[in-house]
Amino acid sequence: MRRPMVAGNWKMNGTRASVAELIEALRQQELPAKVEMVVFPSCVHVSQVVSGLEGLPFSAGAQDCAEQSGFGALTGETSATQLSDAGCEWVLVGHSERRSLLGESDEVVSRKFAAALSCGLKPILCLGESLEERQAGQTLEVVGRQLAHVIAEVGIAAFEQAVVAYEPVWAIGSGLTATPEQAQEVHAALRKQLAREDQRVADGVRLLYGGSVKADNAAELFGMADIDGGLIGGASLKANEFGAICRAAGN
Ligand SMILES: O=C[C@H](O)COP(=O)(O)O
């Protein structure tokens, strides 16, 4: 039985004051014990969030990490070593905004995934196709390639510590959500690909859906057989909405 999970990616949003308000508002929410809940603040707010979440059933993660672990002369980068030291338990790798806007290749994403694991952080591997790729009928090929690169880098056993998030690029922040059937088709294909390597690992890996998930569409998406929860962007910045999505994952 896979434990449902809801992750809130706050992206490049928030100030110290608004982050404090959001945490306070989350404190007022009724939250389901059976759902694993994580928030991913901007790097500059990680320490504030880690201490602010004390007593709340959330853990904290970072939105990215450097390919290199440890310390060194890499201006502007933050290593998984530092994120772990700051109290992060999770890290997103390969979010489509980093792949498309910052040019992260499958190779870079795979090395970040490996770096996270080597420092004890649990990675959420994000993958997904663009609108052009979907229209060209390449969705399963694209996500299959993105997943295969990481499996080749770290091996299938590493996925016992990891989560995979399918986020069709055309659905992110657009208000266009994949239908539950579209999302399920991709999730089933990803699980099958993992199962070709190791059935037991594939059965245990949580596959999250991301892309315009809201309180009013979450239950239908989370009701699909291979959708184990969500990676939420915009809606995770509103405590009421995020709380409702977490509750939908617990039903
Ligand atoms: O990481 C989260 C995704 O990019 C989804 O963002 P969104 O819920 O605003 O569409």
Question: How confident is the prediction along the chain (251 residues), in pLDDT tens digits per residue?
Answer: 899 999 999 999 999 999 999 999 999 999 999 999 999 999 999 999 999 999 999 999 999 999 999 999 999 999 999 999 999 999 999 999 999 999 999 999 999 999 999 999 999 999 999 999 999 999 999 999 999 999 999 999 999 999 999 999 999 888 888 999 999 999 999 999 999 999 999 999 999 999 999 999 999 999 999 999 999 999 999 999 999 999 999 99
Residue 84 identity: S
Query: What SS3 state is found at 162?
Result: coil
Rg over alpha carbons for the chain, rounded to the nearest Å, is 17
Cβ-in-10-Å burial (0-12, 13-18, 19+) of 183 comes to buried
Ligand 1, pocket-test mutation among 96, 213, 237, 245, most atoms within 8 A of CB: 213
Separation of alpha carbons 38 and 6, rounded Å: 7
Query: Mind listing the pLDDT tens digit for each residue in 140-158?
Result: 999 999 999 999 999 999 9
Residue 114, CB half-sphere, CA atoms under 13 Å: how many? 16
Ligand 1, pocket-test mutation among 97, 232, 246, most atoms within 8 A of CB: 232
Cβ(121)–Cβ(69) under 8 Å?
no
Query: Which structural domain range is residue 58 located in?
Result: 5-250
Query: Mind listing the pLDDT tens digit for each residue in 95-151?
Result: 999 999 999 999 999 999 999 999 999 999 999 999 999 999 999 999 999 999 999
pTM, full prediction: 0.97
Q: Is the CB of 8 under 6 A from ligand 1?
A: no
Beta-strand ranges (E) seen in 63-198 are 90-93, 122-127, 163-166
Residue 208 identity: L
Residue 32 identity: P
Q: Is the CB of 207 under 6 A from ligand 1?
A: no
Cβ(53)–Cβ(60) under 8 Å?
yes
The candidate with the shortest Cα–Cα distance to 241, out of 18, 38, 29, 21, is: 29
CATH number of the domain where residue 10 is located? 3.20.20.70
Cβ(109)–Cβ(94) under 8 Å?
yes
How many domains does the chain fold into? 1
